[in-house]
Amino acid sequence: MIDLKALRENPEAFKASQKARGEDAGIVDKLLKADDARREAIVDFEKLRAEQNLLSKSVGAASGSEKEKLLESAKKLATSVKAADAKRAEAEDAAHKVGLLMANLIDPAAPVGGEADFKVIETVGKPRDFKAEGFEPKDHVEIGKVIKAIDIERGAKVSGARSYYLTGPGALLELALVNYAISLAVKAGFIPMIPPVLVKPVAMEGIGFLGQAAENVYHLKEDELYLAGTSEVALAAFHMDEILDQLPIRYAGYSPCFRREAGSYGKDTRGIIRVHQFEKVEMFTFCKPEDAEAEHKRLLNWEKEFFDSLEIAYRVIDVASGDLGASAARKFDIEAWIPTQGAYREVTSTSNCTQFQARRLNIRYKDEKGTKPVATLNGTLVAIPRTIVAILENHQQKDGSVKVPKALIPFLGMDTLVCA
């Protein structure tokens, strides 16, 4: 939810933000109109309530016929107050519904444009020269078959397209990545969490996943629950309707994630880069709004440190306005080099959602001026399938084995994934 006071003071900034996202800028005027109606209805209701309170005092002080007349007036006024209250509730609900259609205000520093208009912030490491080493790299599907780490055929047989089994070394690699990521997060001061993956509509709506992203969400209609596509949902809603005493609060959630991938027909149909179910470790922060920009950089640095330790070349991009999603004011992605694709592919992302989600979820903190919405930020420390893809392809050896990054050896218990 956006700041209505800021909207009234500078509607053009919000119109420009909507346009930069490729969204309807007309929603700004609709929200302003709905907000005016809401405020007018509140004023009318409060005016009648004040009259009712004064009349109640007069009734208490009166007697005889005068009291009877006042009681009759009070009865009529009570009817008017009830009608005004209903009108107020209706106007507030209407304004709320329009407000839910508005995306967050974009950070002016974010690049403007579509998916391809990102800005490369930095490139770390050099892609490995397999030609110089005398062999052609295999893709992760081939490697997974050789070392019996991934079984896509049986995954499809059991669960359909974009499904898979991680077997033997593949399963061990996932567990090692998760344990390594959680250990780093705990050292950095994050509280580890295993959150629910079935969430209520208020949680999904609160973080902004029932708007433009709704088509990618699994909905259990009979139970009125959703399968979360990221633990960000449950972590954000953890403090719903609360006032937080101490900030920042940092959580690291490990969970399975579920995505329909409805808009990705024909994309990444080979392998496990784009799948319906996967696990990841997600960082989530609640902090003061003035600290959000610095916290965003910290989340990015933790992600960079993780991928530095995996000895994989990557780049960091500043995501363009049209690819931010509804909640993020600014987003940075880390893209790992995938040798067989000859391209960098997204493996992690970190978003500054400012106070947008907190307003929708009613999460506040208290300072000397009263209570106000906190800022929320999220960042993926590790998303398992794509990280496994990057490890298998970048660390494969000529003999078909895969060298394990040094940082993972203590968690995996071996330094090489060998051919079966």
Q: Which of 349, 351, 364, 393 is catalytic?
A: 349
Q: What is the pTM of this model?
A: 0.92
Is-catalytic flag, 250?
no
Q: Which of 259, 298, 359, 360 is catalytic?
A: 259
Q: How confident is the model at residue 420 (pLDDT cuts 50, 70, 90)?
A: low
pLDDT (mean) for 29-46: 94
Q: What is the pLDDT of residue 61?
A: 74
Domain with CATH 1.10.287.40 in the chain: 4-99
More confident residue, 361 or 268: 361
Average pLDDT over residues 106-122: 96
Residue 128 a catalytic site member: no
pLDDT score for 211: 67
**Which is catalytic among the residues 205, 274, 315, 401?**
274
User: 417 vs 81, 123, 141, 312, 339, CA distance in Å?
Assistant: 74, 28, 15, 17, 18
Mean pLDDT confidence for 382-400: 96
Q: pLDDT-derived band of residue 64, with 50, 70 and 90 as boundaries?
A: confident
Beta strands 242-244; 363-367: pairing state: parallel
Q: How confident is the model at residue 58, as a pLDDT? A: 80
Catalytic (active site) residue 259: yes
Write down the pLDDT at residue 53.
Answer: 85
Task: CATH 3.30.930.10 in the chain: give the residue spans.
Answer: 115-417
Helix orientation angle between 64-99 and 27-61, rounded to the nearest 10 degrees: 160
Residue 57 pLDDT exceeds 90: no
The total number of residues written for the chain in this structure: 420
The pLDDT value given to residue 195: 97
Residue 302's contacts (CB-CB under 8 Å, 6 or more residues apart) are: 184, 185, 188, 283, 379, 381
Is residue 49 among the annotated active site residues? Answer: no
Mean pLDDT, all residues of the chain: 93
* pLDDT-derived band at 70, boundaries 50, 70, 90: confident
Per the residue annotation, which of 92, 142, 205, 346 is the catalytic one? 346
- Asked if 292 contacts 299 with a C-beta cutoff of 8 angstroms, the reply is no
Percentage of the chain lying above the pLDDT 70 cut: 97
Q: Enter the CATH code of domain 4-99.
A: 1.10.287.40
Q: Under CATH, to which class is 115-417 assigned?
A: alpha beta
Query: What pLDDT score does 265 carry?
Result: 65
Instruction: With cut-offs at 50, 70 and 90, classify the pLDDT of residue 242.
Output: very high
Range with the poorest average pLDDT among 98-102, 130-134, 222-226, 266-270: 266-270
Q: What is the separation of C-alpha 335 from the centre of its chain, rounded to a whole number of angstroms? A: 18
pLDDT tens digits, residue range 299-328? 999 999 999 999 999 999 999 999 999 999
What's the pLDDT band for 264 if we cut at 50, 70, 90?
low
